Amino acid sequence: MPVTRLNHAVLYVANLERSLSFWMGLLDFEMILEIPGQAAFLRAPLSTNDHDLGLFALGDQLTGPTAGTTSVGLYHLAFELDTLGELERLSSVMASAGALVGASDHGTTKSLYVVDPDGIEIELCWIIPANLLDEATIASKATTTRLDMAKEIARYGAQTKGGIGISIPGQRGKP
């Protein structure tokens, strides 16, 4: 089965309107189709997919996720961002909304961790383009340190296009 990438994700949520406020209001997803109070299909701002995210409402009586604590299930979703400038902007947006729960430097990937209204964790990441990788950065991908956004922007630039997946040479991010 030669899978090339994840096409979309579907989440069960407690309250559809609250989740739409998060995804559309904070992350700029656009509505593709809505079944009011029941389901919605959204597309990420720069996506060409039919939809990237499906949300299905189960009701406000449900509590937050238990995956990893008392049950198996989803740990987090990761969405790639186009630039470090966008990652920096979303850091402020998410912090102001009380949704930012972490920021990590994974060597080749710079990441924010946020939670949606139901407590589902989402990683927002920028990937160093292949043509900007060096041996030290590649070697450090097995480590996780605190993200120093200012340092990364000084090194790579706020508007440098990120790599794809694991930074495939020749795909994006060329100066």
In angstroms, how far is CA 65 from the centroid of its own chain?
18
Please give the DSSP secondary-structure letter assigned to residue 160: P
> Dmax of the chain from CA atoms?
51
**Residue 103's domain is classified under what CATH number?**
3.30.720.110
Domain enclosing residue 130, as ranges: 75-175
Tokens of 7: 């096409």
The structural domain count of the chain equals: 2
Measured CA to CA, the distance from residue 79 to residue 77 in angstroms comes to 7
How do residues 85-117 score in pLDDT, each as one tens digit?
Answer: 999 999 999 999 999 999 999 988 999 999 999
Residues 167 and 94 grouped into a single domain? yes
**Residue 53's domain is classified under what CATH number?**
3.10.180.10
- Whole-model pTM: value is 0.86
Instruction: Mention every residue, 6+ apart, whose C-beta is less than 8 A from residue 92.
Output: none
Residues 169 and 110 grouped into a single domain? yes
How do residues 111-164 score in pLDDT, each as one tens digit?
Answer: 999 999 999 999 999 999 988 888 888 777 778 999 999 999 999 999 999 987
